Amino acid sequence: MFCRPGSQRDETRVDAVCTYRKEPSAPPLDRVGLYHQVSNKTRGITQLGPYSLHKDSLYVNGYNEQPVLPTPPHPAPTAAALEPFTVNFTITNLPYNSDLENPDSARFKSAQRVMNTLLDRLLKETSIGPDFQGCETRAFRPGSQRDETRVDAVCTYRKEPSAPPLDRVGLYHQVSNKTRGITQLGPYSLHKDSLYVNGYNEQPVLPTPPHPAPTAAALEPFTVNFTITNLPYNSDLENPDSARFKSAQRVMNTLLDRLLKETSIGPDFQGCETRAFRPGSQRDETRVDAVCTYRKEPSAPPLDRVGLYHQVSNKTRGITQLGPYSLHKDSLYINGYNELQPELFAAQNAQPPLPPAVRNFTLNVTITNLPFTADMATPNSRKFKSTEKVMSYYVDPLLQRSSIGPAYIGCKVMAFRSNKNRDDTAVDAMCSCRDEPSGPKFNRETIYHELSNMTNGITKLGHFSLNSQSLYIDDYNEPHSPSLVKPTPPQSPGPTTEHFTLNFTITNLMFTRDLETPNSAKFRSTERIMRHYIDPLLQRSSIGPYFSGCKVTGFRAMKKRDSTGVDTTCSYSSQVPKFNPAEVYRELRNMTSGITKLGIYNLDSKSLYINGYNEPLQRSAPSTTTASGPTTRKFTLNFTLTNLPYTPDLDVPTSRKFISTVNVLNHYIDPLFKRSSVSSAYTGCKTMRFRSGRHRDDTGVDAICSYQDSASLARFDREQVYWELSTMTEGVTKLGHYSLDQNSLYVNGFPLTETATTRKPVFVVAPAKQGYRLSFRIVNENLTNPDSQSPEYKAAVESITNKMNQLYRQSDLRDQFLGCNITRLRAGSIVVDCQCFFHPEPNINRVVVERTFQDGTSNETGLWLGSSYRLQEFSVDTLELAIEAATYKTPLKSGKENFGLNFQISSLPFSPQLQDPRSHVYRVNKENIEKELDVFRTGRLKEHFAGCTVESFGPVHGRGYTEVFSICKFTLDPLSGSLQKQEVFEELKQLTQGFTKLGPSYELEEQSLVVEGYSPLKTNEPESERSELQFWAIILICVFTLLGFILLLFLCFLVISCLRRKSHLYQVQQGLYGLYFPHLSTGKVH
């Protein structure tokens, strides 16, 4: 677009070039009709938005209608049309950088202005000068050398209808002459072979061809894939917007550019872009996927990927080193080509198998609920990139589940286009797959039908709505008409995939903004948890054998963001006899405790919809034809917590503390019953009330639990359940982070008494248990949050525990098997530490336990735990447990796990908001302090540290800062011994610079740290307390001291008074030799 001065001072002429897609068989542009349409929509060529137009100034492709004049002698000549042409060249003294890639940057605009000015001056002096309108620099691209920048410009000139087409050859020579043989343009030096005028270029070594000049070389992409063995993968490398992704991407691009410029494609090489980082098979490995481009002449042979593979291999020391990174020697792929490193250089005469080629195909579709905007036409804009990522997120899983899934490589959005007055957006993508002789064959019709089925008849792609006529696979399309849809059973390649929707509302998951973004970490984490809970339910339903899987399509805010609505699309094979939404609804209702519970989440009981089907909550549907199901029976559970002080709000069922404490207790109690003998019949527990205990720190808990009483399910035996709970709570002493009163447990009224113990002698002398430690790695799932209190961690622990217990309960060791506990999960590809226990039997040993585990996880494709987890590197070791014969304590007795920490923060002024859990100040400081206390993860206790939670804030009397009370949890295995509070104290002191600084934000009161009552300043607490005087004693001492002093003064006064009174009885005179007493003189007596 260009602007020129008009005939008046207030006028500006506008020249614009517009484009449209023209099919080969379509007629030419009807510029007359288009002229009249534009005229009508601008009020007779008078108004365009806020601008006023000159009514005679409109030209559409050179067509204009002047107002009717009195009978001109001959028709007025048609105005000249604006004709565009391209100019491309390379500047050798302008280093390229990222600012030149961004059209909004100051450097781009400055360089664009300079280039436009230089080209305008140059072309005005050529043969097209009188008709020349101007040039606009459209893009800057990196050159083949570091100091080079390529320039792409579009210029226009006014072309009369009768004039011949642009003489690009002549114009090329004129520009060449005026730039000193294509070497100088103003202050810039040019690459002498880089000039293209409307695609025409002359290489100096070749004579001018007699036939039309060849078209400019096209850019050809190819893929490069490899694995780095010394770059640990983490979740930041999954997010293209993270700082770590961008930094790693820049480094990879630079290393690959340097490498490939030194190969045989160096002169034509354009550059590489790292598209993705993926986790490797080991913790320290990261896979890199990059797309590189080079300029390919039309007559040039295709890329020699085998030769390029060997060149890259040689330049990376046999695929071992790339800059500072170490490479996996078998991981390099060049455009899909790979050679496994042979151990013996034999079989030279054997012909190597033909490497797989890469096949590209186009995919086009139109989105009807995404309005087109101008920035979607710019590949470097934020909106283009974000929309491209969303499209890849939706399209990739579909093609991975299609018939070409194993060979599928990826898709790249090439362009977004405007459709239907910008209300719709058309998407053009280029996809690629490996074309291997033994692999799946690409069939565009098959892919079309598969994508049609997976998008609900080309209507839905994630949260986007599609135009049902718009799908094209490699230009293949079928008109969408009901009359054309005919059942063809004989030609069906197999069962198709059908879909249904599943919707529900979670009442204890607060909706946040990042749940709206499919690429956010929270969205992906919550989606994984949802699939983890939903898939097992549907696998146990009537469609279980045909069920394929579910995908979360979106989260919605419900009830002022306190609840979150979940929308999912599930799929199943069409082989199912008949999908009945009502039947699946009732099955899910039964499996979610009446639509109230889904794993750790609470559900709105009215919110479940299966394909739109829902039953009102009050609806009862008794059936006389079906057999009655198992009846629900209840039993009581009572115990006392010794480290939960009772408060009045625990007596109010609607209070926040009551509800939160109930949730915590359910979280601890439910897994115990699910590992007990009533696990198959257990349905849940509900805390009815809390009671004050005998001591201030005690709180009694009364709960009612329920189970299904059926002949096919486990039988409830209260004594057996009592002993199982006793064992799993370490002899009724520990429930999660709570401590229990050892004599407070009652199961349906059954306590531990002498009569009870004699009634079941099998429990009197508890036999020792044999324990085994199992370790293995799950390679197809990642744990992004290592916090043991996070929903993701809890869900993973619950799922793996259930699958481990199920494996041994279905094995030959089921009669001796007691249970498995997950002791630790490590982040990345999940490393699991698990302990399993068995009754001591002669036939139970480490070899048998290991063989049973291997038999239960082996199938044709490797080791699988259930159908969800793929395993590697498993081992089984014997636990050496010191267990006495007559004991009721668990064999896993270890040192104290929870430590209370008190300390003072001098840089945090205390305010009342710090005691209000709902305030922003409370939440921010609680979160920051808990995060900084993760400093334990960097010390020697990092293997045992689970996390810290801030319990409360308080004022420091006499000072303005804040005291913090927190609880830190450490997990210990039996072989580690106990952890002492002194060790925790010294560790934290060392990690916080002598307990002076907690992270960058918090200054600490140096001598304020107390761990479980321990501080070096308080080691002689009993003596100091004994010697410390009470306030009243100090006052008495002061009073008696004062009285004694007064009495002493009084005695002194009496002595002086007596001496003075006695002095009057004597006569004292002054003599020659001093004082004497005359009344004692002998002369006076006689």
Q: Are 875 and 785 within one domain?
A: yes
Rounded Cα gap, residues 1023 and 1010, in angstroms: 18
Residue 469 lies in a domain: yes
- Does residue 670 or residue 1063 have the better pLDDT? 670
Task: Give Cα 715 distance to the centre of its chain.
Answer: 43
Residue 880's Cβ-side half-sphere holds a number of Cα atoms within 13 Å equal to: 3
Local confidence band at 495 (pLDDT 50, 70, 90 cut-offs): low
Report d(CA 565, CA 586) in Å as an integer.
Answer: 20
Please tell me the distance from the alpha carbon of residue 246 to that of residue 254, in angstroms, as a whole number.
12
Q: Give me the long-range contacts of 115-123 (CB less than 8 A, separation at least 24).
A: 115/151, 115/153, 116/153, 118/185, 118/186, 118/188, 119/87, 119/153, 119/155, 122/175, 122/178, 122/179, 122/185, 123/155, 123/175
Is residue 15 scored above 50 in pLDDT?
A: yes
Q: Quick check: is 50 in a domain?
A: no
Domain end (from 584, 616, 648)? 616
Are residue 866 and residue 914 in the same domain, yes or no? no
**Which one has a higher pLDDT value, 1026 or 1047?**
1047
- Alpha carbons within 13 angstroms on the beta-carbon side of residue 219 total 9
Residue type, 870: R
Question: Per-residue pLDDT averaged across 336-360, rounded?
Answer: 52
Round to whole Å and give the CA distance between 931 and 950.
Answer: 10
> Same domain, yes or no, for 145 and 191?
yes
Q: Which of 279-283, 448-452, 501-505, 741-745 has the lowest mean pLDDT?
A: 279-283
pLDDT at 887: 35
One domain, residues 887 and 782: yes
Q: Are residues 903 and 1010 in the same domain?
A: yes
Domain end, chosen from 566, 585, 616, is at 616
Domain around 1048:
1035-1086
Does the model's pTM come out above 0.85? no
What residues are paired with 877 via a beta bridge? 773
Q: Of 119-133, 251-265, 715-729, which range is least confident?
A: 715-729
For residue 292, count CB atoms less than 10 angstroms from its CB and return exposed for 0-12, middle for 13-18, buried for 19 or more.
buried
Q: Give the pLDDT score at 88.
A: 92
Q: Are 222 and 303 in contact (CB under 8 A)?
A: yes
What pLDDT is stored for residue 534 in this prediction? 92
Helix (H), strand (E) at residue 1027: helix 1021-1027
| 871, 788: one domain | yes
CA–CA distance, 898 with 730 (Å, rounded to integer): 15
Residue 626: inside a domain:
no
Give 316's pLDDT tier (boundaries 50, 70, 90): very high
Residue 453 has pLDDT above 80, yes or no: yes
Q: Tell me what the pLDDT averaged over the chain comes to.
A: 80
**According to the model, what pLDDT value does residue 185 have?**
92
How big is the chain by its Cα radius of gyration, in Å? 42
Report pLDDT for 714: 66
In a domain, 261, yes or no: yes
Query: 358 in a domain, yes or no?
Result: no
614 has pLDDT over 90: no
Average pLDDT over residues 988-1006: 89
The whole-number pLDDT of residue 204 equals: 56
> In this structure, is residue 59 part of a structural domain?
no
Per the structure, the count of domains in the chain is 8
- Span of 536-550, 591-605, 608-622 with lowest mean pLDDT: 608-622
The CA-atom distances, in angstroms, between 232 and each of 50, 750, 781, 784 are 56, 54, 16, 13
Name the least confident of 208-217, 707-716, 773-782, 1036-1045: 208-217
Q: Do both 824 and 876 map to the same domain?
A: yes
245, part of any domain: yes
The verdict on 877 and 910 lying in the same domain is no
Same domain, 747 and 780: no
pLDDT digits (tens, 9 = 90+) for 631-681: 778 888 989 999 888 888 888 888 888 888 998 898 899 989 888 888 878
**Residues with Cβ within 8 Å of residue 1007, at least 6 apart in sequence:** 995, 1015, 1017
pLDDT band, very low/low/confident/very high, at 753 (cuts 50, 70, 90): very low
Residue 210: closest CA among 169, 239, 173, 180: 169
Task: Mark which of 871, 892, 913 sits at the end of a domain.
Answer: 892
Q: Among the listed ranges 327-341, 924-938, 1057-1071, which one has the minimum average pLDDT value? A: 1057-1071
Confidence of residue 69 (pLDDT cuts 50, 70, 90): very low
Domain at 924, CATH number: 3.30.70.960
992 shares a domain with 1040: no
Q: Are residues 661 and 759 in the same domain?
A: yes
Res 896: pLDDT: 45
**pLDDT greater at residue 884 or residue 607:** 607
Phi-psi region of 93 (alpha: psi -120 to 50; beta: other; left: phi over 0): alpha
- Distance (Å, whole) CA 999 – CA 933: 8
Q: What is the mean pLDDT of residues 806-824?
A: 85
Q: What is the pLDDT of residue 117?
A: 92
Instruction: Report the pLDDT averaged over residues 159-180.
Output: 88
In a 3-state reduction of DSSP, which class is residue 686? strand
| Confidence class for position 620, pLDDT limits 50, 70, 90 | very low
Q: How confident is the model at residue 257 (pLDDT cuts 50, 70, 90)?
A: very high
Q: Kindly state whether residues 580 and 564 are assigned to the same domain.
A: yes
Q: Which two tokens stand for residue 718?
A: 């209260």
Residue 529 reports pLDDT greater than 70: yes
Give residue 1058's pLDDT.
84
Position of tokens 């622990």? 797
What was the pLDDT predicted at 1064? 60
User: Is residue 793 a part of any domain in this protein?
Assistant: yes
> Residue 1021 pLDDT > 60, yes or no?
no
Q: Say which residues have a Cβ less than 8 Å from residue 254's Cβ, sequence separation at least 6.
A: none
